[in-house]
Chain A
Amino acid sequence: MNHVDGNVLAGPLSELFSVDMTLATGRCVGCGDESVLARAMVYESGTDLVVRCSHCDDVMMTLVHTPGDLRIELRGIGMLKVPL
Chain B
Amino acid sequence: MGIISRGFSGRSREQNPELPPGQFLTEDFPVLSAGPTPRIDTDEWEFTISTEDGTVHRWSWADLMALPVEEVATDIHCVTRWSKLSTSWRGVSLDTLFAGIDTKYGYTMAHSYGGYTTNVPLADLLGGKAWIAFEFDGQPLDPEHGGPARLLIPHLYFWKSAKWVRGIQMHKGDDPGFWEQNGYNIYGDPWLEQRYS
Interface set of A (CB-CB < 8 Å, partner B) = 2-3, 41, 43-48, 50, 52, 57, 59, 62, 64, 66, 71, 73
Q: Is the CB of B80 within 8 A of A2?
A: no
Taking the complex as formed, is B182 at the interface, i.e. its CB lies under 8 A from any CB of chain A? Answer: yes
Q: Which residues of B contact A3 (CB under 8 A)?
A: 33, 36
Q: Which residues of A contact B79 (CB under 8 A)?
A: 46
Q: Which residues of A contact B184 (CB under 8 A)?
A: 64
Interface set of B (CB-CB < 8 Å, partner A) = 31-37, 78-81, 144, 178-179, 181-184, 195-196
Q: Which residues of A contact B35 (CB under 8 A)?
A: 43, 50, 52, 57, 59
Q: Is the CB of A64 within 8 A of B183?
A: yes
Please report the C-alpha to C-alpha distance between residue A62 and residue B123 in the assembled complex, in whole angstroms: 29
Please report the C-alpha to C-alpha distance between residue A84 and residue B78 in the assembled complex, in whole angstroms: 40
Q: Is the CB of B36 within 8 A of A47?
A: no
Name A73's contact: one of B36, B81, B144, B181 (CB within 8 Å). Answer: B181
Give the nearest-CB partner of A3 in chain B: B36
Question: Given A2-B144, A46-B80, do A64 and B33 touch, yes or no (CB 8 Å)?
Answer: no
Please report the C-alpha to C-alpha distance between residue A73 and residue B178 in the assembled complex, in whole angstroms: 11
A29 → chain B, closest Cβ, in Å? 14
Please report the C-alpha to C-alpha distance between residue A5 and residue B80 in the assembled complex, in whole angstroms: 21
Q: Which residues of A contact B178 (CB under 8 A)?
A: 59
